[in-house]
Amino acid sequence: MKNESNIGKVTSIRGSVVDVWFQEDLPAINTLLLTGKNKKIKIEIFNQLDTNHVRGIALTPTQGLARGMAVTSTGKELLVPVGKSILGRMFDVFGNPIDHKGAPTDVTWKSIHQLPPPLSKRATKSEIFITGIKAIDVLMPLERGGKAGLFGGAGVGKTVLLTEIIHNMVGTDDGVSMFCGIGERCREGNELYNTMKDENLLKDMVLLFGQMNEPPGARFRVGHAALTMAEYFRDEEHRDVLLLIDNIFRFIQAGMEVSGLMGQMPSRLGYQPTMGTELAELQERIAYTNTGAITSIQAVYVPADDLTDPAAVHTFSHLSASIALSRKKASEGLYPAIDLLQSNSKMTTPEIIGERHYRLSQQIRETLAQYEELKDIISMLGMEQLSVKDRNVVNRARKLERFLTQPFFATEQFSGIEGKQVCLNDALEGCERILADEFKDYPESAFYMIGAIDELKKPEKNNKIGENSKKLALKESVVTQ
């Protein structure tokens, strides 16, 4: 290729923004440039300024870079390795292994910039994706090949919930799990890697990290790199992929930093004017095709717990299910701290989930909504002032709230309670029996942190749960920080 030996020189450096002059053969947008000592500084072209100048964003720190330095155009876009041998490995945005195990062999290198699958190749049927977590499977079932968002502020349990879903999926499914950490703390990446290694779940996982301390350009591209790897398993290996992104807000935030560095006029609340386009380029590649499905679950940090924030609103528009995490639920010790009324899924229709499941989910929502309305009366006048009918509604709702808590494998070492994975039928049966007042004489605490409803038959378990409930609330609040 003519561009491969194309040499230019640096004309200006402003933080991560680098302008480069080329005498001829101006490289294309998204081309990777190499410069600095041993060509370790990598720059991706974002703009062609005129016939001789390009402007790029450095994907690595720019220390030591100076005007006049030679720049080599690779003639290629940023590449990542794909192949069977990447399973069980941990990479950075450039495809370099960061698990001290050496470079993977027998891989091909593929550009991170790929087009989404055309409509003609997409599957048209809707299927449910079972997670083994009661609250999600019953009230907000996820779509196979769809996108689900985990909305919540800092410290309400997004990462813990993602870790639990990985545990449940990799342990029972034939698919591949891919964890993409955008703007992750190095502590979180290290803990996740070690947890998966201890649970023997790494063999069907790939981990990709763009850490918090890395330049915005690297954080902005790590999501595209993860999708390229996921698309290989879907399209070439014909396997289903569970793609977990933590945190999609950090992707938008990195785009905002890049946009600011490039001198674009900020839009509402300081976000980049191109936010909608950038998010769509990433999200549209997550799809269910004739060869397999990429199902994505994305943690979405909500600034100041404000669901009307543009980042949250734009992300909502791409999702088939949204799981809203509530600080209030977390403070009550109800884990997973899902706001059952705020969360929803477009899969909850009788045609997709069946008549029984649909009817039950509507009854549960109705009961919880009635309880929400009665809370003000209870706080002012007490339970005694409620009618018998309303008192029954409150009792059912409180038992349902506690039954939809669940001990996680991810928090066993902190809570001292063995993790549980519950199949959909057991979860539905438990809710059905609670709504039918079958357990009217049981205390609320008996339903807290159990798996299937049959565990109520074991009094010794109930006693242990009762003793541990306060301790659990305290300890899990530490876990989620």
Residues serving a catalytic function are 158, 184-185
Beta bridge partners of 362: none
* The amino acid at 92: D
Can you tell me the distance from the alpha carbon of 283 to that of 65, in angstroms, rounded to the nearest whole number? 35
Beta bridge partners of 13: 18
3-class secondary-structure state, position 125: coil
Q: Are 196 and 202 in contact (CB under 8 A)?
A: yes
Both tokens assigned to 383: 């339970």
Can you tell me the distance from the alpha carbon of 164 to that of 479, in angstroms, rounded to the nearest whole number? 13
Alpha-helix residue ranges (DSSP H) falling in 298-386: 310-316, 327-331, 350-353, 355-381
Both tokens assigned to 57: 């964003």
- Give the containing element (helix H, strand E) for 459: helix 459-479
Terminal CA-CA length for the chain: 50
Instruction: Look at residues 321, 396, 284, 264 and name the one whose alpha carbon lies nearest to residue 137.
Output: 321
Question: Could you write out the DSSP letters of every residue in 60-94?
Answer: S--TT--TT-EEEEEEEE-EEEESGGGTTEEE-TT
Can you tell me the distance from the alpha carbon of 393 to that of 371, in angstroms, rounded to the nearest whole number? 7
How many CB atoms neighbour CB 98 within 10 A?
A: 16
Q: Helix 275-283 and helix 216-235: axis angle, to 10°?
A: 30
Question: Is 379 exposed, middle or buried (CB count within 10 Å of its CB: 0-12, 13-18, 19+)?
Answer: exposed
How many CB atoms neighbour CB 448 within 10 A?
A: 23
Chain centroid to CA 454: 32
Can you tell me the distance from the alpha carbon of 283 to that of 248, in angstroms, rounded to the nearest whole number? 10
Both tokens assigned to 90: 């941990």
Instruction: Look at residues 112, 44, 106, 140 and name the one whose alpha carbon lies nearest to residue 345.
Output: 140
Can you tell me the distance from the alpha carbon of 314 to that of 265, in angstroms, rounded to the nearest whole number? 19
- Give the containing element (helix H, strand E) for 295: strand 294-301
To the nearest 10°, report the CA torsion of 367, 368, 374, 375. Answer: 160
